[in-house]
Structure 1
């Protein structure tokens, strides 16, 4: 099923990062994948794919659709070193009323990918900081504007694009792609070398382990490719 990734037309070794902006483990993984990007961006193409973790009937007030976060965030902090911000913990999470939906941040990413594709990995980290540190409301398009500006986009142009059907469709296409490939959890990292694809991570990994996998792929010493 990884042949579906051929549609991106990436020529150099490529790193596919399947994530969701509302995934707490992805928030903990952000510094890891950002460090990898900074170290290897001259040699590897990076592509972010939004996974659509909270869509359709799963969408709703965080207190109803994701009450588990009140306990789970501590595990993420302990294992990854990430810190969830007071604005999220004492505001969004405690109040429990903000609607959790993966669609708007995926649309924001789709806009960014069209206008500044080289910023995909840094923008993914920005979106997760927005949710889990700064405590934005995930369902409100305007809440993403400051982060788009931080990524180098024009705020008004970005907000206008977020309301365009083509970018919503692009986000939905990525959700379908993740499901088609068989991604069942986030973060998931797949790397391409030549015509082969290799699964590097299915869940959180610390940087040394992730980099080891990347180096094995680059050197041709990785295990069997995935289909």
Structure 2
């Protein structure tokens, strides 16, 4: 019986950005098992913050800047702090999550996630804005007009909300999260942001 490794993330989650190199290394280490057909990888969107046009409160801006500083110090992750002075931050990650859902239909979810993260964390652009997301879509080869229509359809159909509810039902309430599903057994995998060894061993033990 094959197993599924579920990676739950939000493209605007700063800890997901910090985890990215380790996640890529873990996927690389799992390639032989994936190629054998014993393991599949399935992504799920976390939906960290719902749609909002309200400016982010100053205290939350300060809190998130502190989080960026902690991740940079702990993991060596790069952040462009110009974002906080050049953009109007909003506590809204649902648009960016929907962009990843749209890209998934074109087998470009990973590319979209990377484009959003780089726009946000390196280029001080705001992924809460549809225009930023449209530029990300164009960057990975999608038609901007068709992308915007697909974004609206995804919103009208509540597709992200359905995925978020599915993630919550599996206990994937923090981002990033990893869990292995085999049959009707779900095993959560503790994260190590700097070394894949323990995660790799835990995954192998389940499958």
Q: TM-score range, shorter-chain basis?
A: 0.7 to 0.9
Q: What secondary structure, in the 3-state scheme, does the structure 1 residue paired with 2:158 have?
A: helix
**2:179 corresponds to:** 190
Cα distance change on mapping 1:95 and 1:80 into 2, 3 Å:
same
1:96 and 1:166 mapped to 2: Cα distance? 24
Q: 1:193, CA displacement in angstroms? A: 3.6
**2:196 corresponds to:** 208
**Alignment of 1:15 onto 2:9:** no
Q: What secondary structure, in the 3-state scheme, does the structure 2 residue paired with 1:67 have?
A: helix
2:151 and 2:9 mapped to 1: Cα distance? 19
Cα distance change on mapping 1:12 and 1:109 into 2, 3 Å:
farther
Cα displacement string for residues 7-60 of structure 1 (whole angstroms, at most 9, x for unaligned residues): xxxx84322111112211111011221233344356142222111211267x73
Structure 2 regions of 5+ residues with no counterpart? none
TM-score scaled by structure 2? 0.81
Cα distance change on mapping 1:29 and 1:60 into 2, 3 Å:
farther
Give the 5 Å matches for 1:160-179: 160-165=149-154, 169-179=158-168
Structure 1 regions of 5+ residues with no counterpart? 1-10
**Alignment of 1:70 onto 2:65:** yes
TM-score scaled by structure 1? 0.74
1:176 and 1:110 mapped to 2: Cα distance? 15
1:32 and 1:146 mapped to 2: Cα distance? 27
**1:4 corresponds to:** none
